[in-house]
């Protein structure tokens, strides 16, 4: 399902200038370019976030890596619908990888885009370097801080050490953030926003 919203209402009484619009996806669906978008040149901007990784909860565990965040532009040439797949957050078992988030822009003449899910607890995720949370390295020892993500998305989760979670990990595991989670909780699913003018 998606939410479709105009940034601004059309100017009353006519007048020139394109109207900015966006569509957000919090679950899988279809982005269908309008004829007005194609007539205006077919240019869209995308913000695509993969699902986060679930952290490891045992003593010496690690926070989950955030999903990759990709931002860029695509040029579309037809009104054919483009499948949007939202990556699931890692769930069920410790260290479960996040799912990839994809937009099949090729259906409308563009190029498919994939934002990889978070993976490899304690190491960078596969794009943007959004690290998992602090890694346990023996009593009193810790590794690098959790990644801060991009614009509040794809943040690394906290690690468990010496009976407590480190607050350096910002990832909450909230749905549609792409955040990695702390150990023992499920990670955040992915997200897509597409913007354009017509």
Whether residue 47 is predicted with pLDDT greater than 90 in this model: the reply is yes
Tokens representing 107 are 């259906």
Neighbours of 34 (CB within 10 A): 12
Q: What is the pLDDT of residue 8?
A: 38
Q: What is the pLDDT of residue 137?
A: 25
Contact between 152 and 172 under an 8 Å Cβ cutoff? The reply is no
Q: What is the pLDDT of residue 6?
A: 42
Contact between 168 and 145 under an 8 Å Cβ cutoff? The reply is yes
Q: Band of the pLDDT at 17, cuts 50, 70, 90?
A: low
Bridge partners of 71, per DSSP, are 47
Q: What is the pLDDT of residue 134?
A: 35
Whether residue 188 is predicted with pLDDT greater than 80 in this model: the reply is yes
Report the chain's terminal Cα–Cα distance, integer Å: 22
Average pLDDT over residues 27-38: 97
Q: How many Å separate Cα 17 from the centre of its chain?
A: 31
């Amino acid at each position: 399902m998606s939410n479709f919203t105009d940034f601004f209402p059309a100017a009353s009484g006519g007048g020139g200038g394109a109207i900015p619009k966006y569509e957000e996806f919090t679950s899988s669906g279809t982005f269908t370019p309008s004829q007005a978008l194609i007539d205006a040149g077919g240019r869209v901007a995308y913000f695509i976030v993969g699902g986060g990784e679930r952290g490891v909860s045992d003593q010496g565990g690690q926070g989950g890596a955030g999903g990759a965040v990709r931002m860029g532009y695509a040029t579309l040439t037809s009104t054919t619908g483009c499948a949007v797949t939202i990556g699931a957050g890692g769930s069920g078992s410790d260290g479960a990888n996040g799912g990839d988030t994809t937009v099949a822009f090729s259906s409308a003449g563009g190029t498919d885009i994939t934002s990889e899910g978070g993976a490899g607890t304690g190491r960078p995720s596969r794009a943007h370097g959004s690290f998992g949370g602090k890694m346990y390295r023996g009593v009193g020892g810790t590794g690098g801080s959790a990644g801060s993500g991009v614009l509040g998305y794809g943040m690394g989760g906290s690690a468990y050490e010496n009976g407590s979670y480190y607050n350096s990990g910002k990832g909450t595991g909230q749905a549609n953030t792409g955040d990695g989670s702390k150990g023992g909780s499920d990670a955040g699913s992915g997200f897509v926003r597409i913007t354009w003018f017509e």
